[in-house]
Amino acid sequence: MQQVLVLNASFEPLNVTSVRRAHVLVFKGKAEVIEKLDQPLHSATDTYPWPHVIRLVAYVRVPRAVQRKISRRALFARDGWRCVYCGTTAGRLTLDHVIPRSRGGESVWENVVTACAPCNHQKGNRTLEEARMELVHPPKAPAPVLFIRLAAPKIPNGWQPYLAHFGSATG
């Protein structure tokens, strides 16, 4: 399935959508085609540009990534597929709540990290101080580009200029 990059009116990357949805947004005047593919889209009576990158005409206020649901894949990608305690990429990766849920810790981007099984077991149901462990870097909400890179693991060359200035896949 061909995917289309959706940009906000400010050219900030927002999402990836289907060609059909992108065409509907353009047809209704809610978006404009910024980049198109060489082949056109055909209907029974007309021909349209095949959208590759579209930009919304009106600016859409996007909720912070904090409000995006945490998934294992997005969390592991944010942390570079490595344990935030020891830095290993080997072995089984797990999720760890920096402040344990039993102690009031929430399942939010700033409190959930990637941990290898040994580090997660070592930390257990304790705080970092109690377990005498440190984070390689503090957890934070990932850049929106992370979700685009997860939705389209092979980023087309035509999208690169629009993604380059808005954070990396690892946040």
Closest CA to 133 of 91, 84, 167: 84
110-131: per-residue pLDDT in tens?
999 999 999 999 999 999 999 9
Q: Tell whether 168 is covered by a domain.
A: no
- Mark whether 7 and 59 lie in a shared domain: yes
Question: Domain range for residue 108?
Answer: 69-131
Q: What is the CATH number of the domain that holds 120?
A: 1.10.30.50
pTM confidence score: 0.69
33-91: per-residue pLDDT in tens?
999 999 999 989 999 999 999 999 999 887 654 467 889 999 999 999 999 999 999 88
Q: Tell whether 157 is covered by a domain.
A: yes
Q: Tell whether 137 is covered by a domain.
A: no
Q: Tell whether 169 is covered by a domain.
A: no
Residue type, 38: D
User: What CA–CA distances, in Å, run from 11 to 50, 92, 115, 134, 171?
Assistant: 19, 38, 35, 38, 19
- Mark whether 78 and 49 lie in a shared domain: no
Placement of tokens 């859409």 in the chain: 60
Q: Which whole number is the average pLDDT over 16-41?
A: 94
The total number of structural domains in the chain stands at 2
